[in-house]
Structure 1
Amino acid sequence: MEALARQIAVYGVAGRPARHLVGLLTERAYPRDELIRATALPRRTVEELLAAIGPDLLDEPGGVRIRPELTSAYQDRFGIADLRATALADPLDRRLAQARPLVEDADRLIAAAPRPAAALDHVSATADTAVRRALWLDSRYDLAGAHLLCLGDHDLTSLLVAQVNPAVTITVVDLDERILEYLDTVATARGLPVRCLVGDLRFGLPGPARDWADLVFTDPPYTPEGVRLFLARGVQGLRDREHGRLLMAYGYSDRHPALGWQVQQAAAGLGLTFEAILPGFSRYLGAQAVGSASDLYVCRPTARSWSGLPGAVETGIYTHGPQSGEAAPVQADEEGVRAVEALAGPPAVRVGPGGTGARVRLATVLTSGLPAQLGTGAVAVDLSADPGTWLLRTLLAVNAVRVAVLVPNRHPDVSNQRGQTGLAALVRAKYRLTYLRNTPDRRSTVVLADRVRPGPSAADRLLAHLLDRAHGKLGNVWRDGLVQVAGLTRNGARDRIRGSADPALTDAALLDAALIDLPRHRLARVLADVAGSVADQESVSSTATLP
């Protein structure tokens, strides 16, 4: 017991969490992950405290606890009764108790959601946390009629907020196509006001999300670069520059406060004021190095926040994997890129990351397309660092006779027959795809996209019209295509779109988005509905190679 007392004394005035751990251990057996989550102490600190308890600690199948015959002595020695009597009440306790059915529903939703992607720094929040966030937002702000932008939403915050207050309108921007499909599927089934857009924030914010939101919520990568980027995109997403707020979940280990300082400096550099920091607000099913917890930052922008916002960012922003800040840049060597250029056919326009000899930066192509002055001949693209979403977006963004794209062999669109067939089906009215595996080396695949001439049907021509204008607003491009292909008036074309088989396509918010901003699952449905909006749709897949 004295060894534990000496250990806790080291923490000085910050010893309450350690005493809280002792109090928990006098109640029942706790698994280590629950102890970390309940106390928000880093795993290393928890292990040091358990080691200091020594032989007085029982390690049972259900977890660890202090021997029952010693619990009273430990409670007296470490003032557990006083600790509990002076603990602050959670202002959300009453609402959270009333929302237990919602917490149970959140638990089921989290269990059914796609598995966290470690390379994107995903760690699932607990069901309690997801509901607490929704309740806190509803208690703090007038959500009715407001716009909430979620930058990344593996924690399903959007679904819970929409259920707590269905009068709010929510847009989610995420890089993970799996989570976007899951959110969209649940929201559609439940009639929740949640719109999903795909976007790699390193390249920018999708057009429909810019200058749109009253509130922004994000749980960003826990690096200074990641926090700065996500908050900067949040600033770009605000429409209310005077009263808008950015809410950020961010946590750091109390063993490494300098890391927290670096992140706070990055946020402050954006001209954001910290209106409040709610410690330990969120809890996670993981992230034990930071105590499975994060603080909630309430940030208010100033006039300075809109000056000097970053454009495209090509540095690593994550803490793990090939896109992390410590990882070496992923790009093809010069010999490999020249091989891709040869496959595209000279003189090919080279597209790739900045600083690699590329004539056009990938960020430029994905956000606005290939510059018109470069023509529509041959294009060679280095996507060695593609996290999985760039290949499809590149084929949508580039209009050329032939495009040769270098991707890793493990890329989901090329690594198996299902991926290859699915990608080819989405762009078949624009390109015929050929997959050259283990080219130019055993780690890579080159995807050759050869331009095709639209088939004889109106559906073929309409799909080609749409795929050639992937950066235009879907509603406008579709309408103009119907006018051109089917000979409808503009009003007639609008009526035809409103009669779409997919009710979601009557949503002005979706029609306001560009094709390139739509998640893959939604893109497939849109293309099917576009083809169905003209009478002669019997030969959607009929195509012929251009001479």
Structure 2
Amino acid sequence: MARLVRLLGDGTPVTTERLIAATALSHRSVTDVLGRLEPWLESGPRGHRLREPAEPWGTTLRGSAREVERRMAELTAAAPRRRRQLDHVAATVETRVRRARYLADHYDLDGATVLCVGDHDLTSLALALLAPRCRVAVVDVDDELLEHVDRSAAQLGAAVACRFADLRLGLPADLAATADLVFTDPPYTPEGVRLFAARGCEALRRDDHSRLLLCYGHGERQPTLGLKVQAVLHALHLLVEEVRPGFNRYEGAQAIGGASALYVTRPVAATWRTVERDPPGGDRIYTHGPMAVEAGERPLPEALARELPDPLPVAELWRLSERHAAARPERRPKLPETAAADLSLAPALAPRLLLAYRGRRLRLALPGAAANALLAAEGWQGRLLGASYRLRLIARDGALAVIEAERRDDAVTGPQLLARQVAEHPAAAAASSLREGLIAAGAARTKNEARAVLAELPNLDARPMDLPLHQLRQLADALPALAGRNVSQSV
């Protein structure tokens, strides 16, 4: 489309036939654009042209390819180690920049939103370096990676919105239907591709311009694996517009020749109906580790299993908590008096589930280190969550533990009042809950005053359970100063 407008704006009349040949757009699309531009067109026997030269149209770029590669090499060297159990395989620096360049060359990114669904290759940072007017967001299950992306973006003077999500449970609420483009390099299993592609489709705006770009590779002697993944894309009603073999190169991944293809796909109306009707599910999506597709069950030790009465699948408890938090009081589903879940393989969900759950009592099986972090009263997790729960150890067995969180009913003040306000409104953005808390704590008279106070703090525009751990820690650390403000300071 940009090429069509450039042709019309170069001063020479252009026929409809030449516009079609030069852009590969259909006759219907070309004539539709000409119709929309008619007030600014001069049309005659020789063709069409704009009365005035067209402004340059396309992505505003910054920095040379060599400079972007140099910066990406530095950012890559400082990144957290890859996590094999999440199927992390490092793409080369050249591939990371190539991805950003492809997006910038093929789409008008100025003002557009690009979401990276999983980003262990730091594609978001390459895009932020190359296309400064693009809005970039990342969703990932790796908190260390999210902290690296967030801090690196700040050092670059870029804004990259970072959200935590275990995609098996769902997509962060504030990312739904917000992206123009989604880029993902998912686990290379049919289950992993379906999950990441479906969540990516949920994040896309529902219009004709949205695209999902997905990486996938398989060995040349395993065509059946490639066929299974293509069947997944077909089942999601994703139109494959382009395939670029060998587009991505990796440091390793020898089973697939150290390379994968880039699939450019277009969702249609049936795509979103399919995602709504048949949402992705299943815990096992990886090729390595305890959550691999072929991994066996790992039951809890009997001493701990006894302390988890009727445990619910994590996804079921999470979605029940989300529905309860978002519904009007008279329509809320009933929560069990005591809920239990095994998070021994997903400890990052523990503080998030405590922020999402609104029942009376919750028991969690966790690795010992994750349990200790919650039980430490002076630690940031204890300070943030201890205002709403009495947290205690129930049992230990080797490297695992069961803790219980029982909701508190007593009155609290100061920082605990703000912490409780955040925890007891899980469907609201953290900023919204804190505004109400500041007024209740006497640290602001009005919402506008509270809003001015919170303007000093970043990363409050999402639900608390969707924030990366380092941003939750920053929130917990800021509560004493917020609660200690005098109203006069807010004016």
| Fold shared, TM-score > 0.5 on shorter chain | yes
Measured at CA, do residues 424 and 458 of structure 1 come closer, stay the same or move farther in structure 2, by a change above 3 Å?
closer
Partner of 2:428: 472
Partner of 1:46: none
Give the Cα–Cα distance (whole angstroms) in 2 for the partners of residues 420 and 311 of structure 1.
Answer: 40
Give the Cα–Cα distance (whole angstroms) in 1 for the partners of residues 377 and 288 of structure 2.
Answer: 25
Contact 1:107 1:126 in 2 (8 A): no
In the TM superposition, what whole-angstrom CA distance separates every residue of 1:35-55 from its partner, at most 9, and x where no partner exists? xxxxxxxxxxxxxxxxxxxxx
Matches within 5 A, 1:275-424: 275-309=241-275, 310-311=278-279, 313-330=281-298, 332=300, 336-341=304-309, 350-353=310-313, 361-365=316-320, 367-368=322-323, 372=332, 374=334, 377-386=337-346, 388-409=347-368, 412-414=370-372, 421=379, 423-424=381-382
Partner of 1:497: 454
Offset at residue 446 of structure 1 (A): 0.5
Contact 1:408 1:444 in 2 (8 A): yes
Offset at residue 293 of structure 1 (A): 0.8
TM-score, normalised with respect to structure 1 = 0.70
Measured at CA, do residues 376 and 340 of structure 1 come closer, stay the same or move farther in structure 2, by a change above 3 Å?
closer
Partner of 1:438: 396
Partner of 1:223: 189
Measured at CA, do residues 214 and 188 of structure 1 come closer, stay the same or move farther in structure 2, by a change above 3 Å?
same
Give the Cα–Cα distance (whole angstroms) in 2 for the partners of residues 330 and 127 of structure 1.
Answer: 37
* Corresponding residue to 2:405 among 433, 445, 449: 449
Measured at CA, do residues 423 and 415 of structure 1 come closer, stay the same or move farther in structure 2, by a change above 3 Å?
closer
Offset at residue 436 of structure 1 (A): 4.6
Decide which moves more: 322-331 or 265-274: 322-331
Give the Cα–Cα distance (whole angstroms) in 2 for the partners of residues 375 and 353 of structure 1.
Answer: 14
SS in 2 for 1:533: helix
Offset at residue 408 of structure 1 (A): 3.9
In the TM superposition, what whole-angstrom CA distance separates every residue of 1:257-296 from its partner, at most 9, and x where no partner exists? 1101110110111001111111101111111111111111
* Corresponding residue to 2:103 among 137, 143, 167: 137
Give the Cα–Cα distance (whole angstroms) in 2 for the partners of residues 530 and 419 of structure 1.
Answer: 15
Give the Cα–Cα distance (whole angstroms) in 1 for the partners of residues 240 and 280 of structure 2.
Answer: 26
Partner of 2:35: none
Contact 2:162 2:468 in 1 (8 A): yes
Matches within 5 A, 1:49-64: none
Partner of 1:72: none
Offset at residue 390 of structure 1 (A): 1.2
Give the Cα–Cα distance (whole angstroms) in 2 for the partners of residues 423 and 437 of structure 1.
Answer: 20
Contact 2:109 2:131 in 1 (8 A): yes
Contact 1:382 1:406 in 2 (8 A): yes
Decide which moves more: 527-536 or 419-428: 419-428
Measured at CA, do residues 449 and 97 of structure 1 come closer, stay the same or move farther in structure 2, by a change above 3 Å?
closer
Give the Cα–Cα distance (whole angstroms) in 2 for the partners of residues 159 and 332 of structure 1.
Answer: 40
Over the aligned positions, Cα root-mean-square deviation in angstroms equals 2.9
Offset at residue 466 of structure 1 (A): 1.0
Give the Cα–Cα distance (whole angstroms) in 1 for the partners of residues 248 and 482 of structure 2.
Answer: 46
Contact 2:363 2:402 in 1 (8 A): yes
Across the two proteins, how many residue pairs are aligned to each other?
A: 418
Decide which moves more: 461-470 or 135-144: 461-470
SS in 1 for 2:462: coil
SS in 2 for 1:213: coil
Offset at residue 453 of structure 1 (A): 5.6
TM-score, normalised with respect to structure 2 = 0.78
In the TM superposition, what whole-angstrom CA distance separates every residue of 1:189-243 from its partner, at most 9, and x where no partner exists? 2221201000011111101110000000000000011101111111100114211
* Corresponding residue to 1:517 among 431, 449, 466: 466
* Corresponding residue to 1:484 among 429, 440, 452: 440
Measured at CA, do residues 293 and 437 of structure 1 come closer, stay the same or move farther in structure 2, by a change above 3 Å?
farther
Question: Are 1:125 and 2:91 matched, yes or no?
Answer: yes
SS in 1 for 2:218: coil
* Structure with the greater alpha carbon radius of gyration: 1
Give the Cα–Cα distance (whole angstroms) in 2 for the partners of residues 184 and 454 of structure 1.
Answer: 37
Contact 1:252 1:260 in 2 (8 A): yes
Contact 2:353 2:465 in 1 (8 A): no
Give the Cα–Cα distance (whole angstroms) in 2 for the partners of residues 373 and 115 of structure 1.
Answer: 41
Partner of 1:540: none
Partner of 2:5: none
In the TM superposition, what whole-angstrom CA distance separates every residue of 1:447-504 from its partner, at most 9, and x where no partner exists? 1224346675332212111111223122222222223332622222222222x3x3x2
Contact 1:331 1:382 in 2 (8 A): no
Partner of 1:99: 65
Matches within 5 A, 1:46-195: 98-195=64-161
Give the Cα–Cα distance (whole angstroms) in 2 for the partners of residues 224 and 270 of structure 1.
Answer: 12
Offset at residue 381 of structure 1 (A): 2.5
Measured at CA, do residues 158 and 431 of structure 1 come closer, stay the same or move farther in structure 2, by a change above 3 Å?
same
* Corresponding residue to 2:386 among 403, 428, 442: 428
Offset at residue 419 of structure 1 (A): 12
SS in 1 for 2:308: helix
SS in 2 for 1:116: coil
Q: Which amino acid aligns with 1:273?
A: L
Give the Cα–Cα distance (whole angstroms) in 2 for the partners of residues 414 and 369 of structure 1.
Answer: 28
Q: Which amino acid aligns with 1:517?
A: D
Partner of 1:53: none
Measured at CA, do residues 385 and 365 of structure 1 come closer, stay the same or move farther in structure 2, by a change above 3 Å?
farther
Partner of 1:543: none
Measured at CA, do residues 293 and 97 of structure 1 come closer, stay the same or move farther in structure 2, by a change above 3 Å?
farther
Offset at residue 369 of structure 1 (A): 5.2
Decide which moves more: 318-327 or 377-386: 377-386
